[in-house]
Structures are given as structure tokens and as C-alpha cells.
Amino acid sequence: MSPPDSAFTDTLISRTVRERIVLVGVTFPWGTADATEAGLDELALLVDTAGADVLERITQRRAAPDPATYVGRGKAEELRDVCLAVDADTVVFDDDLSPAQQRNLEAILGRTAIDRTAVILDIFAQNARTPEGRAQVELALLRYRLPRLRGRGRAFSQQAGGIGTRGPGETQLEVDRRRLVRRMTRLESDLRQLDRTRRTQRKGRSRSRQRTVSLVGYTNAGKSSLLNRLCEADVGVENRLFSTLDPRTRQLHLPGGETVLLTDTVGFVRKLPHQVVEAFRSTLEVVCESDLVVHVVDGSAPDHEGQIDAVRTVLAEIGADGIPELLVVNKMDLVAAAGPGSAADVVRLLAAHPGSVTVSARTGEGLEELTSTMGDRLRVADRVVELVIPWSRGDVLAAVHREGEIVNEEAADQATRLHVVLDEVGRARFREFLAS
């Protein structure tokens, strides 16, 4: 992996001191005020995770976004007065800003204006640890910054009017854009190479016939804690958003004797930036190739259905919406501590999603039921078949015992007759021994 270009990989929020932030949310006719407030609550958590302090929250109702400033010039001037009153450094909008809107707002506000996407990318930049994770985050940052280069670096432009300055030349903007595109091309090439390596590893796992299960869910739902509990792993756990960016895979032994590969993935969030989904697509392909998706939900969160919908939206975007899903409500210890109201919310959630399981990764409550249910869900795709194996083919009989679940076995004339649970690959492998 080539070293990062420091001119373009600095984070979007300064952490030499804690920045002072004003949040802005807008309610349109297709939304509700409650949804706007919930979005600002989550944005405040994101800003805190990024290392800044929220001083003020401003909301507005509009029929449609203003093309020039998103909130309208009058509201932008009101925002400027609020920022002066609280001595804010940055204004963060809960919705995406176009490059033109961002430039116009900064001109009116006299300070930095960024959107939710910039905050999420900044958090990703802080948490990336592995070479692949850093490359994915840097690629997402560069894709975000490329259309926002306009108007920067004019003082260094080689184009101007007057004697001695006419003729061919290029602006600093063109130089910067070319550097960004060149860096993006290099990162995409590096990630393709890493993706080929991962595909080779997955082919090896496929040949071993080991089932794969992916943990997905909203950020900070407790996926890493669940992985640690189930697999006795030592994956780092933090009570903060997006603490896991790189997938971690561990072996899990199910009650029926099967061994599966359990993978922890990056957490999702509402309005997850498209740049992030594209940059992490190769990493998220492990979900697409899973036999089962374990969808972890934070039982103590206030908006279960909203978080479930956000996760399923991303799964559909990467093509993983057709994989069997097991909904797991985590953090039941916090639900019990919160009182009857929170418990009633979980009861309604379970009623809306039959077959779900409740657990607590912290205390271990419900883990036996979870692993048993995972085994049952994985076996749904299997089928009981009858095989007749000649006594002379002891190697085949041993292979069937290794790869299938024996339901019944009896000796017949010159052969052994078995009823065994096999998946599609196993049925194809032992096709010639199927009973007619």
C-alpha cells in the first residue's frame, strides 16, 4: 500500500481542541418533526464521537431545499448570528449539502459548514486501523472532496491576464484534481488486489464446506461484544460509534456439532454515505456470500424499527437482502434496567418480527438459544436424503459421516443404507449413491 498523500488525507474535524458545533436539521413535507429531532440526536452522538462539542441545535420547516443555501438566505443569516452568540467553529447539517451550497453557506456564516457525510467520514478516518481499512476510508474521503475543490488554490494559479502571462498553463485547481484522481486510481487498484486475495481465501473456505454467518446491525448494537462472547475472541470493544471497520472472522461451534465461521462487519447508520458503501463494497461482500445473516438490534435504543430499516436498506444496496436473516435483540440487561416501558417496546418488536431471539452479550443471557436457533436456521436449507453405499466403499461412508448429519443408519445386503441431512453441495457430491 502506497503512503497516503497528506494534502488530501487530513481529517475533516480538527482535534487539537474540541470544536464547538451548531447542528441544523430541516423538516420537509415528506418528513416529520419527530424524525428531524431523532436525526439531530444521532448527529449529536456522531459529532461527540468525532471529538467535538454541540452547543446549539437549530431546526427549520421548509417546502423544499433552497438550491443556493439549503436553508434560505434569511435562515443562513440567523445561523450566523447564533454562531457568533455561542462562539461556534463549525455548523453541521443533518442532510447532504451540495458543493455550491457549502461554499455559499461558508461565505454567509464566516465559518466552516459541513454535512452529516463529512462527520461520518471523519469518524471512519479516526477508526481505520488495517491497511485495507485506511485505503477504503481514504478513497471515500477523496470521492467526497473531489467535487468540492472548486475555488480553492486560486492564489497559486498559473493562468492570468496581461503581458507575460498569456498562453498555455493550468490552474492549481486542475493540479489538485489530477492529484486526487491519480491517488484514487492507485487506491482502487490496491483495493482490487486485496479483494482478489480475499476471494482466494473465500474459495478455500468454500472448498472446506464450512458455513459462514455474518453479524450485521446498526453501529454500536453490540456485534463485537457478541462475537467475543460466542467465540471466546478478544476483539476490541468500545462504547462508541463505528469502533469496528475491518471484518473479523472467528470459528463458532454450534450445539449440533457443526463449526461455522462467524464474521463481524462494519456497523451501519441512517443516511450512510454512498461513498462509504462504495469504498467498503469489497469488504461487505462477505455478507453477500454468507449462509445466514444475524441482524443484531440494540434493545435499549429508542427507535428499533428505524434502525432495522436503515440496516436492511444497506443490505439491499449491496445485494444481500435475499440471504436468510435472524433478528437478535441485544443488550437485554440494559432493557431490564430501564424499566417496564423499554421492556414493552421489546415485546412489541418481537411480536412484529416472529422468530427473533433476545440476548445480552454482556451477561451471556440467551446465548444458548441463539446458537441453537442459528443451527436450526442453517439446517433449513439442508434436506434429508437416502443413500445406499456398498460395503466396499468405506471411504465414501466415512466422508458422509464427516459432511452430513446421520438421521438413521442400517445394514442391508452388501451395502449400508443411510438417511442423512446434506446440503446442496453434499447431495451433488454423493449423487451416484442416492437411493432410487
Q: Is the pLDDT of residue 153 over 50?
A: no
Summarize the confidence of residues 402-419 as an average pLDDT. Answer: 82
More confident residue, 216 or 153: 216
d(CA 216, CA 202): 19
Summarize the confidence of residues 21-25 as an average pLDDT. Answer: 95
Superfamily of domain 210-379: P-loop containing nucleotide triphosphate hydrolases (3.40.50.300)
CB 374, CB 355: distance < 8 Å = no
d(CA 136, CA 412): 59
Q: Is the pLDDT of residue 323 over 60?
A: yes
Query: Residue 32 carries which DSSP code?
Result: -
Q: Tell me the per-residue pLDDT of 105-132, one tens digit each, with 9 for 90 and over.
A: 999 999 999 999 999 888 888 877 778 8
Query: Residue 162 carries which DSSP code?
Result: S
CA distances from 428 to 212, 355, 396, 431, 434 (A): 20, 31, 13, 5, 10
The residues, ordered by sequence, that sit 6+ positions from 405 with a Cβ below 8 Å of its Cβ are 256, 257, 379, 382, 420, 421
Superfamily of domain 1-158+167-209: GTPase HflX, N-terminal domain (3.40.50.11060)
Among 188-192, 241-245, 262-266, 301-305, the range scoring the smallest mean pLDDT is 241-245
CB 92, CB 37: distance < 8 Å = no
Domains 1-158+167-209 and 210-379 share a fold: yes
d(CA 84, CA 287): 47
| Band of pLDDT at residue 235, cut at 50, 70 and 90 | low
Cell matching residue 343? 421492556
d(CA 114, CA 120): 11
Confidence at residue 13, expressed as pLDDT on a 0 to 100 scale: 58
Look up cell 470493544; give the residue: 237
127 three-class SS: helix
Q: What is the pTM of this model?
A: 0.75
183 three-class SS: helix
| Band of pLDDT at residue 381, cut at 50, 70 and 90 | low
d(CA 385, CA 358): 34
Determine the longest span between alpha carbons in the chain, in angstroms: 104
Look up cell 472472522; give the residue: 249
Look up cell 449423487; give the residue: 431
Chain centre distance of CA 12? 20
Give me the residue spans of the domains in the chain. 1-158+167-209, 210-379, 382-433
- 81-90, 169-178, 240-249, 419-428: which is most confident: 81-90
Identity (one letter) of the amino acid at 340? P
The residues, ordered by sequence, that sit 6+ positions from 221 with a Cβ below 8 Å of its Cβ are 267, 296, 297, 298, 301, 307, 330, 331
219 three-class SS: coil
**What average pLDDT is seen over the chain?**
83
